[in-house]
Structure 1
Amino acid sequence: MKKITNNEKNGILDWINQSLKKDNDVKNLLPINENDNNSFKNAFKNGILLCKIANISIRSTIFENEEKVRENFILFLNAAKSLGCNINGVTIQELLECDEQSVLLLVWEVIVVGLIKKIYSVEPSRFVSLLKDKETIKTYYELPPREILIRWVNFQLNRAWMERRIKNFNNDIKDSEVYTVLVRRITTKDAGVNIDALNEEDLEKRASMVLENADKIGCKRFLKPTDIVNGNSRLNFAFIANIFNTNLALPEIDLNNINKTIDENIITSTNVFNYSMIHSSNTNSMDSLFRNWINSLGICERYVYDLYLCTHDGVVLITLFNKIFPSLVDHERVVYPPFKSSRSREKLENCHYVVELSKRCGYNVSGINGVEIYNKGRRGTLRILNCLMKSYYSFQIDPNLKKDLNEMQIIQTINIILEKENKRQICGARFLISPDYNDFLAILDFINLIKPKTVNYSLVHYVKISSNDYKITDLVVSYCFKIGCNFYGNPLDFDNYREFDSTYLLFSLLTLYKIKQ
């Protein structure tokens, strides 16, 4: 992870101060004075502020906050991993000591993950205006976040009759002209936003006027005038992403009108079909689980934002094999980027090698070949990732295993442990189809065996009888994070149940149980 500069520190603290200023739980910790080290340490010393930050990025990532400092830091660290943040090199001790770089690096990762998730949550009826000729709705989900934001800015500039276009978030925005027009374009006349900054010759004063306008629409986050003038790419990305997520200003298009042309983007019936496949909650749940796992391992130079696009050259999957089976991969057979062309034969050869590695590991990959992975096929990619994650957990549970554990073996092992302690058990047959409240109570009992006195059963009862937004699954995942469990889903994954999510929760819990024995 790249070191956080002093300007970026100020931007992060500004975001925290603005985002949580109305939260009663942390109002005594804010605002954080960027020039006062004691103010920084006081704000982060008990870990509650970090937990709040994680919950902003993904709702219900963490269920409760308590005045238990070490547990709060463990909660945040594991929540960050579950969101797909790369926490390599950051330890609990560094967080306990409020090491500035460690805290800021993790907070920045969590902020960016939250921003990116919202970028990909835009409805197709809105984002179709950003697609180019012959692109489908699926294309949007394959674009890097920066490319989406650049297209959005240029779309707004075009609508404002401005000839300029941007290609980056540093040199192209330094003079504040683009920002001036952008902020005015996406707001209504009664917002009080103007373009007077275009008449100001001093670049820093012009940037100040831009931020004054941004403040009028509630988007003054991350930046100071010098960050615009100096072209800080990371902070400008966050600033634009925040504006995009809160003031989209894209026309709503009727997707049923399949012959309609919008800004030279033709919407076809294929587009609508792709949307229904990509945007289903089942797909998102599984994709995010594996995506978060890969990103949290810190083994890839690039952030995996689209599971199939980012794995279709075979490199990420081969890197995973190398992580789990260190002596398996013959690196002379792997072709790493840069490739000779975007449709390189080298990528296909990598994908064939992925299938070969899978067979050597004993995985069931019948009917799967390298072409399917190269073509971003969901079935083949998910099956291989499913096998890899089982191997990842199985080797942690027992390094001497000759064969990966399966779902029923995990449930049976946990039930044996629960039975010895006279605790309720998980119904295996039901759990693999659709777990109910009693199954999750059994999981809470198992959590309490791993770390006694962790579960507050009065809170469990409150969740059962209350009508608020929290569910038993929120509580289960929160307690998993609290005891240090490496689970890469989040409570929202259980809203639309998939076998992968719940069984991997059990894999991660049994792994932690074995480590603590």
Structure 2
Amino acid sequence: VLDNADKLDCRKFLTPKSLVAGNPKLNLAFVANLFNTHPGLDPITEEEKADIEDFDAEGEREARVFTLWLNSLDVQPTVVSFFDDLRDGTILLQAYDKVIPGSVNWRHCNKRPANGNELMRFKAVENTNYAVEIGKQNRFSLVGIQGADITDGQRTLTLGMVWQLMRKDIVNTLGNLAQRMGKREISDADMVTWANGMSKKGGKSSSIRSFKDTTLGNGIFLLDVLNGMKSSYVDYDMVASGRNDDEAYANAKLAISIARKMGATIWLVPEDICNVRSRLIVTFIGSLMATAEKMGV
């Protein structure tokens, strides 16, 4: 096998010993390199290229953000391929334990083999079923989701579960603010109300009805929120009207830059704001609320 790969200039990642040992990740890297070097496929047409670029763009962007968030929790091993690395449930269970301490009984969990091999499917499904069970115990909306869906890499269902876990983390961070508001936890409606109030505090009239509001796409409302938090940070001479894509992108980029300068932990990129990816904008506002709490705003 390796001699033939050498003739094709594709002998990477594997040694005879590792090939016989059957390390799944090295095997995957070997096959991926072989495919990238000699795909054996006809070039795609422009029409096909457009379809591929549009395919599940939002899911891919969310997966990128959720990967960054999971790694910020210091899960082991580091998440590289979002859907693949979550299939056996071990990362999900670690995330639950970090976000909701004490929620995981580790005696009920199957650990990955020390030799680096994958968990057997039935053990992986036991883990993911347990992850779904913990989510339901914490009032996550997981109707129709089974552990096997996560193990099989069902994209929408996996994203939905991790989003609720990330949102729980945001809510936990805003716990002190919730107490001041006399609430058990902060809802999306509370976040919208807070953001509108912060815009008004800065002397601006912009407002939103929800995190799906299309006006979020030009970035101006988010800049108005930041202005309400600390007016000296927003120079409106640098804020564009947002009437075209370039201006909207510049505003979104400026909002992210100012938020980070304030000390907020930001997961999204300008495109997420311009395309009004509501889940990711929730993380932005949630982080601003937590930052405002620290600033005493």
TM-score interval for Structure 1 and Structure 2 normalised by the shorter chain? 0.7 to 0.9
User: What is the aligned partner in structure 2 of residue 444 from structure 1?
Assistant: 223
5 Å-filtered alignment, 1:164-313, equals 165-167=11-13, 253-254=41-42, 276=52, 279-297=55-73, 299-313=74-88
1:515–1:433: structure 2 CA closer, same or farther, 3 Å change rule? same
Could you tell me how far apart the structure 2 residues matched to 1:370 and 1:361 are?
Answer: 16
The amino acid across from 2:62 in the alignment is: M
Q: Does 1:384 align with 2:177?
A: no
2:203 is the alignment partner of 1:415:
no
Q: 1:321 to 1:158 in 2, by over 3 A?
A: same
Shift in CA distance, 329/485, structure 1 to aligned 2, threshold 3 Å? same
Change (3 A) 1:361 1:418: same
Which runs of no fewer than 5 residues in structure 1 stay unpaired?
1-150, 170-243, 258-271
Distance 1:463 1:158, change over 3 A: farther
Distance 2:90 2:207 in 1: 38
Q: Which residue of 2 is the match for residue 158 of structure 1? A: 7
Residue 351 of structure 1 pairs with residue 128 of structure 2: yes
* Partners of 1:386 and 1:466 in 2: CA distance: 28
Consecutive unaligned residues in structure 2, runs of 5 or more: 16-32
Tell me the distance in 2 between the aligned counterparts of 1:368 and 1:452.
45
Letter in 2 for 1:412: T
Within 1, Cα distance between the matches of 2:144 and 2:41?
Answer: 40
Specify the alignment match of 2:111 in structure 1: 336
Structure 1 residue 462: deviation in Å? 8.2
Distance 2:121 2:37 in 1: 38
Once the two structures are aligned, what percentage of the paired residues are identical? 21
**Residues 485-504 of structure 1 mapped to structure 2, 5 A cutoff:** 485-504=264-283
**Structure with bigger RCO (C-alpha 8 Å, 6+ apart):** 1
Provide Cα deviations, 1:97-152, integer angstroms capped at 9, x if missing partner: xxxxxxxxxxxxxxxxxxxxxxxxxxxxxxxxxxxxxxxxxxxxxxxxxxxxxx9x
C-alpha distance in structure 2 between counterparts of 1:284 and 1:395, whole Å: 26
Q: TM-score, normalised by structure 1?
A: 0.46
Q: Match of 1:348, SS? A: helix
CA deviation map 1:428-472 (0-9, x unaligned): 14x41423466x323212213333411121111387789689522
SS at match of 2:94: helix
For this pair of structures, how many residues does the alignment match? 266
Q: For the aligned residues, what is the CA RMSD?
A: 3.5
Distance (Å, rounded) in 2 between the aligned partners of 1:467 and 1:290: 27
Residue by residue over 1:244-289, the C-alpha shift from the partner in whole angstroms, topping out at 9 and shown as x without a partner, is 9xxx8766832679xxxxxxxxxxxxxx9xx949953212111111
Secondary structure of the corresponding residue to residue 414 of structure 1: helix
Q: 1:363 is matched with which residue? A: 140
1:421 deviation in Å? Answer: 4.5
Q: Say if 1:292 and 1:489, in contact at 8 Å, map to a contact too.
A: no
Task: Give the AA of the match of 1:422.
Answer: G
Alpha-carbon distance between aligned partners in 2 of 1:432 and 1:450, rounded to the nearest angstrom = 22
List structure 1 runs of 4+ shifted beyond 4 angstroms: 248-252, 275-279, 339-342, 399-404, 462-470
One-letter amino acid of the structure 1 residue matched with residue 215 of structure 2 = P
Q: 1:314 to 1:362 in 2, by over 3 A?
A: same
- What letter matches 1:290 in structure 2? F
Equivalent runs, 1:475-486 vs 2, <5 Å: 475-486=254-265
C-alpha contact 2:202 2:227 (8 A) present in aligned 1: no
Larger Rg: 1
TM-score relative to the length of structure 2: 0.76
Larger helix percent: 2
